[in-house]
Amino acid sequence: MFNKIVESSPSFCLEDREETPVQLIQHPLLKEYGIELYVKRDDMIHPLISGNKWRKLKYIIQDMMAVKKKYLVTFGGAWSNHILATACAGATFGFKTVGFIRGEEVQNPVLTVAKLFGMELIFTDRTQYRTPQTVFEDYLSKVANPNEYYFLEQGGQHPLAIKGCEEIIKNLPFVPNQIYCACGTGTTLAGLALGLSSTQENDKLETKNTRLFGIPVIGQGDLLREDILALNPKACFELLSAYHFGGYAKTKPELLNFISDFCRHTGILIEPIYTGKLFYAIFDQIKQGKITSNQKILAIHTGGLTSFLGMYEKWK
Ligand SMILES: *Cc1c(COP(=O)(O)O)cnc(C)c1O
């Protein structure tokens, strides 16, 4: 076996990395309850264009290139995984990126890395930020060639994003009884639901009895149901909305302790914003007897390990 030579942008293609492993993990609690927990290691797609951020960007970038735009303009908070992924994708595939960042000007490791990848950062006050389309149009009125710019909502919300996420569960090595995924906007979950129904149609895997669970990482997570159905009206899923720990990017000591314990036993890094809440929920469902030992459980590791950068001081 030889290592593969890849070309530099734009033909260096991340698609080669999408066949991420499905790993059976070990943990004393799983042993005690006799549960087989498998993790789809989408965190291994790329260190910075990580997990579901690559899945969401993939067809958007292809679309942008097809319509010959030079600039991708998008939106995010100052710690956004989406901003970082977009900046790195721009440098990798050879297009320019502009990031409108919510709130007053700040400096942090995420924004520094985005700048290193050549992203232009524009800090935007919170009121204006709520109407991104208007912010985008104002910006276009000031640039030389407005028709070179492609608009992308915060978090990569776009109809093409679910098409990429649908592929997360392509070529699974077995039919899981249950699939679990963290939800911010719910786009990834909408894509997974599509993936389950299309594998059924293609008759590759008998997935019609596979149950899909979303773990909202924000408060009032039940409100996501409508957003998910707007993206995929046929989506079949359940939301477990009691695992937000006070809201987006909020934590509690029990979550931080869980994360330490999980990382130590599995060698898989998870973080407090998304995947920490996801695995906490799965383990809690096991303890409550809602997940039983004859089931094959698949958790989607959506990546996003840079979420740590703003939170490392929480573990003292
Ligand atoms: C952005 C992100 C999510 C949320 O994905 P949605 O499609 O918005 O629900 C989940 N996990 C990680 C690690 C993320 O970075």
Rounded Cα distance between 189 and 195, Å, is 10
pLDDT at 204: 63
> Residue 304 pLDDT more than 90?
no
pLDDT at 198: 85
The tokens of 171 are what? 């070529």
| Cα–ligand 1 centroid distance for 21 (angstroms) | 19
Rounded Cα distance between 166 and 89, Å, is 20
Find residue 179's DSSP bridge partners: 212, 298
Work out the average pLDDT over 274-297. 96
Phi-psi region of 304 (alpha: psi -120 to 50; beta: other; left: phi over 0): left
Tell whether ligand 1 has an atom less than 6 A from the beta carbon of residue 52: yes
Tell whether ligand 1 has an atom less than 6 A from the beta carbon of residue 155: yes
C-alpha distances in angstroms, 26 versus 2, 36, 256, 263?
31, 9, 19, 11
pLDDT digits (tens, 9 = 90+) for 117-152: 999 999 999 999 999 999 999 999 999 999 999 999
> Residue 315 pLDDT more than 80?
yes
C-alpha distances in angstroms, 186 versus 29, 110, 288, 315?
29, 23, 25, 29
> Residue 37 pLDDT more than 70?
yes
Residue minimizing CA distance to atom 13 of ligand 1: 304
Please say whether the dihedral angle defined by the alpha carbons of residues 7, 57, 172 and 214, taken in this order, is positive or negative.
positive
C-alpha distances in angstroms, 172 versus 118, 138, 302, 303?
36, 45, 16, 18
> With contact defined as beta carbons under 8 Å apart, do 40 and 61 qualify?
no
Tell whether ligand 1 has an atom less than 6 A from the beta carbon of residue 183: yes
| Cα–ligand 1 centroid distance for 158 (angstroms) | 14
pLDDT digits (tens, 9 = 90+) for 1-17: 677 776 665 556 788 78
Neighbouring CB atoms inside 10 A of 312's CB total: 9
Q: Do β-strands 22-24 and 36-41 pair in parallel, antiparallel, or remain unpaired?
A: antiparallel
Rounded Cα distance between 271 and 311, Å, is 9
Atom of ligand 1 nearest to the CA of 191: 7
Rounded Cα distance between 26 and 11, Å, is 38
Atom of ligand 1 nearest to the CA of 214: 9
Q: Give the three-class secondary structure for 121.
A: strand
User: Scanning the structure block, which residue is given the tokens 């927990």?
Assistant: 37
Tell whether ligand 1 has an atom less than 6 A from the beta carbon of residue 274: yes
Work out the average pLDDT over 77-104. 95
| Cα–ligand 1 centroid distance for 92 (angstroms) | 21
Residue minimizing CA distance to atom 4 of ligand 1: 184
Tell whether ligand 1 has an atom less than 6 A from the beta carbon of residue 54: no
Tell whether ligand 1 has an atom less than 6 A from the beta carbon of residue 156: no
Q: Give, for ligand 1, the residue of 188, 223, 232, 270 to mutate: max count of ligand atoms closer than 8 Å to Cβ.
A: 188
Closest CA to 193 of 162, 216, 220: 162
> Residue 94 pLDDT more than 80?
yes
pLDDT at 101: 98
Q: Give, for ligand 1, the residue of 179, 274, 280 to mutate: max count of ligand atoms closer than 8 Å to Cβ.
A: 274
Residue minimizing CA distance to atom 5 of ligand 1: 184
pLDDT at 17: 84
pLDDT at 121: 98
Atom of ligand 1 nearest to the CA of 224: 9
pLDDT digits (tens, 9 = 90+) for 207-263: 888 999 999 999 999 999 999 999 999 999 999 999 999 999 999 999 999 999 999
Work out the average pLDDT over 260-272. 96
Rounded Cα distance between 152 and 129, Å, is 13
Tell whether ligand 1 has an atom less than 6 A from the beta carbon of residue 86: no
> With contact defined as beta carbons under 8 Å apart, do 140 and 114 qualify?
no
The tokens of 53 are what? 């951020």
Q: Report CA 144 to chain centroid distance, whole Å.
A: 34
The tokens of 107 are what? 């400096």
pLDDT at 307: 79
Residue minimizing CA distance to atom 2 of ligand 1: 184
Atom of ligand 1 nearest to the CA of 303: 13
Does the N-terminal peptide bond of residue 21 adopt cis geometry, omega within 30 degrees of 0?
no
pLDDT at 312: 82
Q: 152-165 burial, b for 16+ CB within 10 Å, e for fewer?
A: bbbbbbbebbbbbb
